[in-house]
Amino acid sequence: MPKPRDFTKGLYKIRTTANKVPMDQDLFKIITDGMPGTSMPPWAVLPDKDRWNLVAYIKTFAPDAFKEAPKKLDLPKDVSSSETSLKRGKEMFEAIECHKCHGTEGRADGPSRPELKDEWGFPVAPANLTKRWTFRGGASRTDIATRLANGVLGTPMPAFLDSVEKPEDIWHLTNYIVSLGPERPRYATLITVSATKDALPDDPNAEFWKKATASAIPLMGQVIVDPRNFNPVIDLVTIRAAYNDTEVAFHLTWDDPSETKGDGKQTFPDAISLQFPPQITASTERPYFLMGDASEAVYLLRWQQGKGVGEASANGPAKIAPLQGGEVSGKVVYTNGQYRLVMKRPRIAKGEGRPTFQPAVFTPVAIQAWDGGAGESGTRMSLTSWYYLRLEEPQSNRRFVIPPVVAILTLAAMFLVVRAANRAR
């Protein structure tokens, strides 16, 4: 978990200078925009003048460090993104071995990741390059090029300005990093479970799932009951879902920097669960979102590393009882810092405590996830509150009939109107 800055050192991560002293503008920007992915919030709510006064005040904590004048970093001439630039960027990404920390596909899963420490000896995580909105110093191209050129002070991220083959490689790398993910996630509010007549594939990499609609859902750390999780690793799960007459299947994608079975002491099995009420009713009453409570249980469709897919009933995070006899199946793959999982079960509930999934019914759903490699287990989890999913109505032939009928009727009506108008003249 990132510690608060020690102002007496005058050492700042984010700077646009060639030396170690940040510009006043750099401090102002962090106060204004905050630091995404940390506990530092944006303070844009304060008037400009107050924020500038804060900058001046913060500097007095480290008078020696600020004796030196900041020297503005000169970035090489900007090169805009193009196919050639991206190709060169990827080449450089490999040549300078960004993957050592950031992983082959940029998901912060590189082999050096577990050993990384900051200047004070605290563990520090590399940036997930596919989630630009979590970059501490901002997600713009200039922000990224600057971090590459002069590094991130106090962390293992070194300066690369003199360590690329040609100065403009900084921009090719920037363009490549920008191409690895969206600027911001587009979060879904409703998860649609699409109807199909086909079989639902177990394989998470099947073509079927690539074509399915993806809904990105944000997760937060669990901070209600002890032990809490203030710095969750899993902050986003993407859901794809489909059903046919007999089955319903959920396809989940999430980033986790290590595939962990756990030693039971410091590390635990990676896990994820989808939570539903045990019966889906028209009532707006739902069980307590944090795995239910003593009076109302929840149903969990879950997966755990080493154990596979299973079902459980929970009356709170400390009271989870596996449900036996269900016909669940699934398959997981883990590549380059990302899990892809399919969990499948009968659409109509078989046995007590399990919901039946009906088309066109708003069905409450919540997600819980654990990065066991980071020591998450039990209540130390990421979670969502209740969301809704909806099984779309099965496609009938009516959609081929009604629109043409409407079109013909409209045309006929228009024809009648025109004729009536002509007659009246």
Partner 1 sequence: MRKGLTIGTAVALVTGAAMWFATTVGAQGGGTVEVEVKYNGAPQVEKLKVNKDTEKCGTETTIEKVVVGGNKGLANAVASAPGAKGASKAKAVIDQHGCKFVPHVVVMQPGEIEIKNSDDILHNIHTYSTANPSINKAQPKFKKVMTEKLEKPEFVKVTCDVHSWMLGWVAVVPGVAAATDTNGVAKLENVPAGKQKIEVWHETLGKQEKEVDVKAGSVTKVSFEMKGK
Interface with partner 1 (CB under 8 A):
19-20, 95-97, 100-101, 111-112, 115-117, 119, 151, 153, 156-160, 162-165
Pick 150 or 368: Cβ nearer partner 1: 150
Pick 164 or 314: Cβ nearer partner 1: 164
Pick 90 or 286: Cβ nearer partner 1: 90
Residue 115 CB, shortest distance to partner 1, in Å, is: 4
Pick 65 or 348: Cβ nearer partner 1: 65
Q: Phi, psi at residue 401, to the nearest 5°?
A: -95, -50
Pick 330 or 373: Cβ nearer partner 1: 373
Euclidean distance between CA atoms 125 and 232, whole angstroms: 12
CB 359 within 8 A of CB 393: yes
Q: Please list, in sequence order, all residues whose beta carbon lies within 8 angstroms of the beta carbon of residue 412, skipping any fewer than 6 positions away.
A: none
Encode burial over 260-293: b for 16+ CB neighbours within 10 A, e otherwise.
bebeeeebbbbbbbbbbbbebeeeeebbbbbbbe
Residue 293 CB, shortest distance to partner 1, in Å, is: 44
Residue 72 CB, shortest distance to partner 1, in Å, is: 17
Residue 172 CB, shortest distance to partner 1, in Å, is: 14
Q: Please list, in sequence order, all residues whose beta carbon lies within 8 angstroms of the beta carbon of residue 290, skipping any fewer than 6 positions away.
A: 222, 224, 225, 316, 317, 383
Residue 156 CB, shortest distance to partner 1, in Å, is: 3
Euclidean distance between CA atoms 144 and 179, whole angstroms: 12
Residue 111 CB, shortest distance to partner 1, in Å, is: 4
CB 241 within 8 A of CB 204: no
Pick 42 or 111: Cβ nearer partner 1: 111
Pick 156 or 378: Cβ nearer partner 1: 156
The tokens for 146 are: 């600057």
Euclidean distance between CA atoms 253 and 205, whole angstroms: 11
Residue 125 CB, shortest distance to partner 1, in Å, is: 13
Q: Please list, in sequence order, all residues whose beta carbon lies within 8 angstroms of the beta carbon of residue 344, skipping any fewer than 6 positions away.
A: 200, 202, 247, 248, 249, 250, 309, 328, 329, 330
Pick 66 or 288: Cβ nearer partner 1: 66
Encode burial over 30-47: b for 16+ CB neighbours within 10 A, e otherwise.
bbebbbbbbebeeeeeee
Residue 142 CB, shortest distance to partner 1, in Å, is: 20
CB 201 within 8 A of CB 343: no
Question: Strands 298-304 and 236-243, how do they pair?
Answer: unpaired
369 three-state secondary structure: strand
Pick 101 or 369: Cβ nearer partner 1: 101
End-to-end CA distance of the chain: 82
Centroid of chain to Cα 125: 16
Residue 76 CB, shortest distance to partner 1, in Å, is: 16
Euclidean distance between CA atoms 205 and 309, whole angstroms: 17
In DSSP terms, 333 is beta-bridged to 340
Residue 226 CB, shortest distance to partner 1, in Å, is: 32
Pick 87 or 100: Cβ nearer partner 1: 100
